Every structure is written in C-alpha cells, then in structure tokens.
Amino acid sequence: MRRYWQTLICFWGTALAMQAEYQVNLLIELVAIALSLGGSLFTLSLFFGPGYSLGGWNWSEALVVQGFYTTLDGIANAWLRPNLGSIVTYVREGTLDFVLLKPVDSQLWLSLRLMALSGFPEIALGLLLVGWGGLQSGAEASVQELLTVVLMLLSGTTILYSIWFLVAATSIWFVKMWNATEVLRTLLASGRYPISAYPVSLRLLFTFVLPVAFLTTVPAEVLLGRVVATPMLLLSLALACIFFLSTRAFWLFALRHYTSASS
C-alpha cells in the first residue's frame, strides 16, 4: 500500500514537471475554463425568467447542479481525459507491452499515471458554485449531510471512471477508438441540467442505462434536502461498486485478448 502511494506521488510529480514546460498553455487553459463556465451559466440563464423554472428547479438550485457538473468535469480533465485518452495510443503503437511488464497493476498505471493541472481550478470553481447555489437556496446541510454529499460525489466519480475506462478498453479490439470517449462526453454533458428537465424517455435512459442522474442531480437533491439521503446514498454506492467491478472484470477479460501490435 505504501509503495503504491510513493509511486503515485512520483507519477504526479513528473506529470506536473512536464506541464510546467508549457506555461502559456496553462494560461490558455485558465482562460478557456473561465469562458466555458461563463458560457454555461449564460446558456442556463436563458431557461429562466420571471415565473419560469427548469423542470421544477429554480435558478439557485440549478446552479448547484451546474456546480456538481463543473466539479466532475474538472476531475475528468485532471485525471480521466489525459490517462484514459492515451490507452488508445498505447494499443495502437504497441507500447501497452511496456505497461504490462511493469511491477504495478496495469489498470492502476493506466488510470492514474498522468495528472493535468488545469483540472484543479475547475474543481475549485465547481465547488464554489455548489456552495453559492446552496446558500442562495437556503439549504441547511448538517455535517452528516455534507459527508453524504462528499461520498456521493466520490461514488459518482467512480461510476464516471468505470464507464470511461470500459469504453477505452474496447480499443484492444477496435484499435482506433479515439472518438468513442468524445461520444461519452456529449452524453455526460447532459448532466449539467437537472434530470427532470428532460422528457420521460431520456430521464429513464439517464437514470438506468447511463446513470448521469447519479453524477449531478441526485447529489444536488441530497444537498438541498429534496430527497431522503440514506437510500440514495446506498443506491449510489451500490451502482459504483457494480460499475467498478464490471470494469475490472472487463479489463482482465480484454487483456486475455490482447495480442500486442506486431503479432
């Protein structure tokens, strides 16, 4: 366990050193984050007006959902996108062989090797937005509820990671799957609005097939006290476990079909 921590710290140290080389890019990323959040808030504001709400959520409540989405997007930008995005390259160029030979679990290496600095301001902004929206809508969250929300956010991250890894792992068969993760991003972008803003058929899809609802809407509902927290937390944790275990099983299954680049 301690060895794994040391390796992770070493990984992220080198990743940060690598990014410090492109300082202008970091600045561009910061501007991009600000622009993108501004644009999202502007688009969200178009759905509100005197007497209008979005699927039964008022402006400040919808801000909480937007905040959770921004936080998750930040996590995705910090870890999921750089790491899981390069699995395809490893498979295509045959460098996955070197990963498999390392004395570290291959899934761990592939999932956590890199870290992008630009995700962190986004995570911070998202959490700020959650806090602001929560205060504005008069949510009175106890310590226990806050803890529940943090746990739900973690299990939401696990669900997101599992789906993403699952799709990226199929590149072992299809080789060129670069855009599959882009499809995923489009579908996950639907998480920036409360799930009740969608028609019933899409609501079912986003709850049971692709559980986007558990990533943003349900944590927001818990924070705002709109639902009973405990069953939702249990459901979310159960989903996270199921998704993670299936991903793990799928990766082990996929490795048995991996035949390197030249053989």
Is the CB of 140 or the CB of 182 nearer to other proteins? 182
Is the CB of 9 or the CB of 202 nearer to other proteins? 202
Q: How far apart are CA 82 and CA 41, in angstroms?
A: 26
Closest CB 198 distance from other proteins, rounded Å: 6
Q: How far apart are CA 130 and CA 156, in angstroms?
A: 16
Indicate the length of the chain as a whole number. Answer: 263
Is the CB of 6 or the CB of 25 nearer to other proteins? 25
Q: By CB under 8 A, name the binding residues for other proteins.
A: 22, 24-25, 28-29, 31-32, 35-36, 39, 42-43, 46-49, 51-55, 174, 176-180, 182-183, 185-187, 189-190, 193, 197-199, 202
Closest CB 185 distance from other proteins, rounded Å: 8
Closest CB 242 distance from other proteins, rounded Å: 25
**Tokens at residue 158, please?**
């696990």
Q: How far apart are CA 69 and CA 53, in angstroms?
A: 19
Closest CB 231 distance from other proteins, rounded Å: 27
Nearest partner of 222 among 53, 58, 65, judged by Cα: 65
* Cβ atoms of residues 212 and 206 within 8 Å: yes
104 backbone φψ class: left, alpha, beta (φ>0; ψ -120 to 50): beta
Is the CB of 23 or the CB of 262 nearer to other proteins? 23
Is the CB of 29 or the CB of 221 nearer to other proteins? 29
